[in-house]
């Protein structure tokens, strides 16, 4: 627990006088500099060395802050926060993610209560006005003993511009007190109590051109840090009663020009609030703002980085000193013992064994290596399965075997080989040397394709033609629609797959609706003549045609042409809206931080009034895709795909995803093509966000499967890619340290 020197009452009064003095001075750049210096000097005498994350509470807009104003604090890495806040004019829903220790991102919906969504009741009924926004805050430097923590941020970065703001802010800790001082532009700068310092660099920073963009989805860089500016600040106090935090702030907005609402009544520039932590994850919020408005709400958070579920399933390998210890095979001709070993590899190690081969030592004619081909079906962390296999092999295999090579596969593609040195493994397993870990006996290497023989001395006894069937629920959802703010479809997918030949399999999904309100959807396309074909905006027709539909049904073949080179060909009903044929080629080296692939597809649009028919529209679509895992952004994958999209527009899709320690993946994508913002329509370009999470985070059993939750602000026809069910980069995840759990 961090310790601190409690500030004296005289110190706090001097601090308050310094802040108020500079807020009252004429609008000059010098006043801001002097205030910041005063704040830093005061912190030199009373600041602790404690980390400041204890001050990470949600603001009224979402994201860490005071109330209406932000501060320079950040939540713990991996924190996903949700906020609901309400007052007479605005109601807000926000989700914030601490994507990196230095980067906070926020998605927010604003409900503008006094106005209607539209003037046409047939279009949106009595739903109130909605506006969405996206915020970003970056930490410039961390707090030290002498200096405050400093951050820069953008609010409503790519929205309609109603709440668009930029800000620089500093926060400094004084014992239980956290003090914030900052400067805001745009929405946060309307009090206009200080000159814009950037005017001294160029006259163009003195005026903020235009008002509200209205269309949304555009990064209006020509407005950043321009026009009126205001100083804002505040205090956050951790009371001796642990769950209670008190806040006070000086607001940089005078609310004289609220979009749609005009001028709001303001009796005071000061806002006061309190946060009460009901539990470690839930907080109630209450504030009195503008001198006349009561606001309330609540926030919650989860830790995506450290979340998990204790596993109660017992798959511990019996030890040699127990009655249930495994029985060692006498030699490789002991077929029964090897069948038992293969069964144990699956029972305890999760490896579905397809084949076993042996290899002779290079120094003698003695067989000393067992090669096992299989696919991990139980453990998300493949290394955990290898540890179990090492324990089984140490007990089961004849003593002439010195090494085990585990060749891991996915859909019969050989991905990597782990060599287990059984002598070293035995030292670790039997604790003969406490400094030796079991992982020390593992060596990871690429697979030698030439080593695989036609048939090994053991082959799995099963029929490839047996179909595999699974059932799982799905949830499609959309937010911010005119008919209903939240629209959803909940149902079940019945998945079936069947191997027809090595590398060739048929697979499909039959979907059924259980409940939905998408039948209320009546928005078809913008009220202008779009130059794009309707490739995605027929979503209502597809969703509401039938309660049972064929999502996809296709024949696929995957193959490894050469070391590091993988291919696939496929054909059939490829997704709910398109069918056709296609091929993909991927080059990916083992444990490399880059890969490159290319796909080419001819597709035809499926008929939304038929389960199996097609419409007249067809096109070629395909992309060259680069994959890069930069060393300067740990656990982050950047994907850039350039090519032709479904609506025959050409351009680039950029996708960035980050992986937390728990295995949760969080990603965002955006596509910009040769279609202009005006031709594209509301939103300006295609973009979306998603979370992919391991299923075993929610259960006591291990599982390699994952769930997916996506959010797309608006569905339009530009920048749309084919949803291919077979993608080689994901099929070869085990070749990358990024996906290695």
Where residue 329 falls among pLDDT bands split at 50, 70, 90? low
d(CA 170, CA 275): 21
Residue of 705 and 160 predicted with greater confidence? 705
Does the CA dihedral 628-633-635-637 come out positive or negative? Answer: negative
d(CA 501, CA 464): 7
Asked whether the beta carbons of 192 and 228 are under 8 A apart, the reply is yes
Helix (H) or strand (E) holding 335: helix 335-347
- pLDDT above 90 for 687: no
Asked whether the beta carbons of 147 and 43 are under 8 A apart, the reply is yes
Helix (H) or strand (E) holding 429: helix 422-429
- pLDDT, mean of residues 219-242: 93
d(CA 514, CA 491): 5
Q: What angle do CA 727, 479, 490 make, to 5 degrees?
A: 65
DSSP state of 622: E
d(CA 676, CA 718): 10
The confidence score (pLDDT) of residue 260 equals 85
Where residue 303 falls among pLDDT bands split at 50, 70, 90? very high
Where residue 49 falls among pLDDT bands split at 50, 70, 90? very low
Of 572, 635, 639, 565, the residue nearest 601 (C-alpha): 572
Does the CA dihedral 48-49-54-60 come out positive or negative? Answer: positive
- pLDDT above 70 for 414: yes
pLDDT digits 0-9 by tens, 93-151: 999 999 999 999 999 999 998 888 877 777 777 888 888 889 999 999 999 999 999 99
d(CA 179, CA 173): 6
User: How many other β-carbons are positioned within 10 Å of the β-carbon of residue 695?
Assistant: 17
Please give the structure tokens belonging to residue 358.
Answer: 């042996």
d(CA 197, CA 243): 40
Query: Where does residue 618 fall: left (phi above 0), alpha (psi -120 to 50 degrees), or beta otherwise?
Result: beta
d(CA 175, CA 181): 17
pLDDT digits 0-9 by tens, 170-191: 999 999 999 999 999 999 999 9
Where residue 500 falls among pLDDT bands split at 50, 70, 90? confident
For 233, 326, 423, 478, 546, the CA distances from 322, given in Å and listed in that order, are 68, 9, 21, 56, 58
**Average pLDDT for the chain:** 84
SS3 43: helix
Kindly tell me the burial class for residue 75, based on how many C-beta atoms sit within 10 Å of its own C-beta (0-12, 13-18, 19 or more). Answer: buried
DSSP 265-294: P-S-SEEEEEEEESSSSEEEEEEEETTTEE
d(CA 479, CA 469): 32
Of 59, 65, 52, the residue nearest 101 (C-alpha): 52
Q: What angle do CA 568, 573, 578 make, to 5 degrees?
A: 100
User: How many other β-carbons are positioned within 10 Å of the β-carbon of residue 254?
Assistant: 18
d(CA 178, CA 168): 17
d(CA 583, CA 597): 11
Please give the structure tokens belonging to residue 554.
Answer: 């296709």
Asked whether the beta carbons of 180 and 71 are under 8 A apart, the reply is yes
pLDDT digits 0-9 by tens, 460-495: 655 455 688 888 888 887 777 777 788 888 889 999
Q: What is the pTM of this model?
A: 0.85
Percent helix, strand and coil across the chain, each to the nearest 5: 15, 45, 40
Going by their DSSP bridges, the two strands 565-573 and 244-250 should be labelled as unpaired
pLDDT digits 0-9 by tens, 359-390: 765 455 577 889 999 999 999 989 999 999 99
CA dihedral 222→224→226→228, nearest 10 degrees, is 140
Helix (H) or strand (E) holding 544: helix 539-544
Asked whether the beta carbons of 366 and 345 are under 8 A apart, the reply is no
Please give the structure tokens belonging to residue 552.
Answer: 């996809």
- pLDDT, mean of residues 241-270: 94
* Least confident interval from 385-394, 541-550, 582-591: 541-550
């Amino acid at each position: 627990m961090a310790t601190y020197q409690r500030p004296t009452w005289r110190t706090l009064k001097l601090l308050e006088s310094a802040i108020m003095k500079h807020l009252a001075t004429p609008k000059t750049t010098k006043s801001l500099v002097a205030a910041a210096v005063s704040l830093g000097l005061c912190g030199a005498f009373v600041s602790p060395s404690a980390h400041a994350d204890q001050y990470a509470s949600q603001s009224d807009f979402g994201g860490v802050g005071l109330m209406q104003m932000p501060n320079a604090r950040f939540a713990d890495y991996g924190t996903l926060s949700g906020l609901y806040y309400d007052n007479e004019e605005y109601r807000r829903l926000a989700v914030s993610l601490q994507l990196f220790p230095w980067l906070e991102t926020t998605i927010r919906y604003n409900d503008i209560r006094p106005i209607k969504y539209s003037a046409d009741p047939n279009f949106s009924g009595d739903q109130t006005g909605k506006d969405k926004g996206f915020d970003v805050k970056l930490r410039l430097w961390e707090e030290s003993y002498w200096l405050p923590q400093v951050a820069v941020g953008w609010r409503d970065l790519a929205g309609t511009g109603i709440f668009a703001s930029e800000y620089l802010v500093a926060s400094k800790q004084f014992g239980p007190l956290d003090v914030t001082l900052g400067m805001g532009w745009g929405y946060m700068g309307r009090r206009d109590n200080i000159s814009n310092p950037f005017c001294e660099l160029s006259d163009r920073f003195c005026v903020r051109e235009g008002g509200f963009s209205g269309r949304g989805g555009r990064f209006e860089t020509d407005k950043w840090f321009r026009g009126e500016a205001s100083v804002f600040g505040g205090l956050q106090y951790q009371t001796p009663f642990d769950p209670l935090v008190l806040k006070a702030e000086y607001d940089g907005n005078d609310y004289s020009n609220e979009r749609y609402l005009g001028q709001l009544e303001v009796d005071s520039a000061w806002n006061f609030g309190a946060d009460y932590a009901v539990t470690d994850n839930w907080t109630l919020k209450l504030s009195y703002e503008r001198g006349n408005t009561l606001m309330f709400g609540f926030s919650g958070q989860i830790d995506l980085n450290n979340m998990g579920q204790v596993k109660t399933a017992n798959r511990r390998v019996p030890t040699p000193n127990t009655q249930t210890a495994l029985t060692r095979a006498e030699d490789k001709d002991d077929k029964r013992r090897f069948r038992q070993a293969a069964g144990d590899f699956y029972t305890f190690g999760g490896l579905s064994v397809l084949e076993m081969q042996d290899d002779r030592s290079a120094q003698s004619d003695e067989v000393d290596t067992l090669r096992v081909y299989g696919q991990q079906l139980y453990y998300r962390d493949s290394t955990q399965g290898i540890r179990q296999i090492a324990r089984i092999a140490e007990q089961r295999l004849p003593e002439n075997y010195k090494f085990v090579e585990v060749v891991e596969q996915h859909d019969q593609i050989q991905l990597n080989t782990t060599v287990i040195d059984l002598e070293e493994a035995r030292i670790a397993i039997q604790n003969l040397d406490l400094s030796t870990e079991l992982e020390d006996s593992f060596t990871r290497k690429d697979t030698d394709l030439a080593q695989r023989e036609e048939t090994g001395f053991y082959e799995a006894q099963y029929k490839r033609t047996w179909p595999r069937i699974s059932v799982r629920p799905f949830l499609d959802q959309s937010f911010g629609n005119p008919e209903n703010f939240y629209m959803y479809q909940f149902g079940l997918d019945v998945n079936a797959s069947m191997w027809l030949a090595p590398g060739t399999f048929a697979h499909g999904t039959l979907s059924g609706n259980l409940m939905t309100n998408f039948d209320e959807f009546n928005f078809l396309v913008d009220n202008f003549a779009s130059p794009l074909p309707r490739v995605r905006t027929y979503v209502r027709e597809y969703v509401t045609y039938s309660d049972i539909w064929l999502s996809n049904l296709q024949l696929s073949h995957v193959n490894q042409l050469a070391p590091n080179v993988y291919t696939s060909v496929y054909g059939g009903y490829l997704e709910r809206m398109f069918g056709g044929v296609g091929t993909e080629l991927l080059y990916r080296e083992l444990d490399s931080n880059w890969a490159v692939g290319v796909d080419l597809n001819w597709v035809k649009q499926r008929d939304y009034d038929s389960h199996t028919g097609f419409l007249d529209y067809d096109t070629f679509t395909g992309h060259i895709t680069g994959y890069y895992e930069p060393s300067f952004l740990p656990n982050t994958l950047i994907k850039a795909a350039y090519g032709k999209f479904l609506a025959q527009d050409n351009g680039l899709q950029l996708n960035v995803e980050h992986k937390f320690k728990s295995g949760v993946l969080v990603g965002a994508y955006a596509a910009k093509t040769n279609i202009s913002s005006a031709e594209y329509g509301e939103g300006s370009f295609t973009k979306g966000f998603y979370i992919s999470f391991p299923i075993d985070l929610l259960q006591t059993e291990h599982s390699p499967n994952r769930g997916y939750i996506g959010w797309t602000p608006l569905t339009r026809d530009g920048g749309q890619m084919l949803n291919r069910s077979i993608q080689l980069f994901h099929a070869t995840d085990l070749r990358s340290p990024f996906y290695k759990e």
